Amino acid sequence: MTKLKTQSLKKRQSDLANTNKQLEILSNGIFQNGELPTFKNKIAETNQFPLKAKALEILQINVGYMCNQVCEHCHVDAGPDRKEIMTRETMQQILDVVKTTGAHTLDLTGGAPEMNPNFRWFVEEASKIGIKDFIVRSNLTIIRANKKYYDLPEFFKKHNIHVVSSMPHWTRGKTDKQRGEGVFDMSIKALQELNAVGYGMPDSDLKLDLVYNPSGAFLPGDQASMEKDFKKALMEDFGIQFHNLFAITNLPISRFLDYLIASENYEDYMYSLVEAYNPMAVENVMCTNTLSVSWDGYLFDCDFNQMLDLPVNSKSKHISEYKSELLEGRNIVISQHCYGCTAGAGSSCQGSVA
């Protein structure tokens, strides 16, 4: 069994459960007094403002905030107490859109997407459309959380799902510190089960990628070096194989922002992000080719903007009124959290971008 790390900000009735409060923090202090440049001014230095959406390539669907874990740094503020779950009706609206767009990737996230009661139906229906890359972001422990999920590796295999899973470190201590006691052992077991059905093997088409995000107030190291270290350690210690490691920067929002403030690391962290700013990464930020759909069907430039309640700057605001001509070329909505995607080698849901 895993032991929950904490409760969601919402359940704790924290000030930061209010997204306006988060946006206020991100705009005040060091960004208001000019100590650090705002993201808008920074990208304007290299004539990259406003950021414009290109053609849609990735449709990321958040099927609900319910999760069996309560990770310390979750930007979704997900947990067992969150009841926001996508309905079958919204899923059907998404399927109708997927059929008409040129998006090559469908990316399901949550919470734990598998906990949505219509998850399997949605995967089955979406599979029929023939998406090139169909991702499910699985937290791994869900596979071992309850008997009804034990067959998930086989289910994923049947639909040729690309499994992307979080793994903060190859050691138990660092993983459990971030994700809850017992998470490491359950994740290892789940990875072994995915390997057993063919996921992550060197020549296998069953893609298994891991996501690394730092366990504290520091930026991720070089993605290729981290991947080498992860592969070596997981193979030597547990015989586990996987394909790619995506190194993702923690964005200063939601529970990670709460952690930064409580640990008095907020200002130093923002300095680190701004100092590591890389204009090359701006060229490839994911918001320019991605749309994020919330559990209730609204459209956002990315999952982070979704969590900050910053909707797309377009007349097409809901999946039921999706019009590519209204969305393409829209101005991306930005704030200081965007520095998280442009630091160092850049960061996206697919890892480094520069």
- In terms of phi and psi (left: phi > 0; alpha: psi -120 to 50; beta: otherwise), the region of 52 is beta
Q: Which residues pair with 298 in a beta bridge?
A: 318
Decide: helix, strand or coil at residue 138: strand
Stretch that binds another protein, among 66-74, 118-126, 155-163, 217-225 (CB under 8 A): 217-225
User: Please, what is the minimum distance in Å from the beta carbon of residue 214 to another protein?
Assistant: 7
Q: Is 121 in the site for another protein (CB under 8 A)?
A: no
- How far apart are CB 324 and another protein at their closest, in Å? 39
Q: Is 124 in the site for another protein (CB under 8 A)?
A: no
**Interaction between residue 222 and another protein (CB under 8 A):** yes
Site membership for another protein, residue 221 (CB under 8 A) = yes
The SS3 of residue 192 is helix
Residue 92, Cβ density class (10 Å: 0-12 exposed, 13-18 middle, ≥19 buried):
middle
Buried b (16+ CB within 10 A) or exposed e, 303-321: bbbbbbebbbebebbbbee
Q: Contacting another protein (CB under 8 A), which of 218, 236, 315, 323?
A: 218
Q: Which of 131, 219, 257, 307 binds another protein (CB under 8 A)?
A: 219
Q: In the stretch 276-295, what mask flags binding to another protein with x, by CB under 8 A?
A: --------------------
**Would you tell me how many other CB atoms lie within 10 Å of the CB of residue 96?**
12
Instruction: Pick between residue 69 and residue 223 the one whose CB is nearest to another protein.
Output: 223
29 binds another protein (CB under 8 A): no
Distance CA 279, CA 145 (A): 42
Cβ proximity to another protein: between 150 and 271 the closer is: 271
CB of 232 to another protein, least distance (A): 11
Q: What is the DSSP annotation of 195-234?
A: HHTTTT-TT-SS-EEEEE--SSSS----HHHHHHHHHHHH
174 binds another protein (CB under 8 A): yes
CA distance 222 to 218: 13
Half-sphere exposure (CA, 13 Å, Cβ side) for 167?
31
Q: Which two tokens stand for residue 251?
A: 């964005």
The interface mask with another protein, positions 230-249, x = CB under 8 A, is x-------------------
At its nearest, how many Å lie between another protein and the CB of residue 223?
A: 11
> 257: which 2 tokens?
């922002």
Output the smallest distance, CB 166 to another protein, in A: 15
Interaction of residue 185 with another protein, rule CB under 8 A: no
* Alpha-carbon span 116 to 119, nearest angstrom: 5
CA 23 to mean position of chain CA atoms: 19
Q: For another protein, which residue of 275, 280, 323, 329 counts as binding (CB under 8 A)?
A: 275
Segment contacting another protein by CB under 8 A, of 60-68, 167-175, 181-189, 197-205: 167-175
Region class of 134: left (phi > 0), else alpha (psi between -120 and 50), else beta: beta
The region of 85-93, 210-218, 301-309, 313-321 touching another protein under the rule CB under 8 A is: 210-218
Looking at the DSSP assignment, which residues form a beta bridge with residue 205?
none
Site track for another protein across 146-165, x = CB under 8 A: --------------------
In angstroms, give the least distance from the CB of 274 to another protein: 10
What residues between 298 and 337 interact with another protein by CB under 8 A? none
Positions in the binding site for another protein (CB under 8 A): 169-171, 173-174, 212, 214, 216, 218-222, 225-226, 229-230, 271, 275
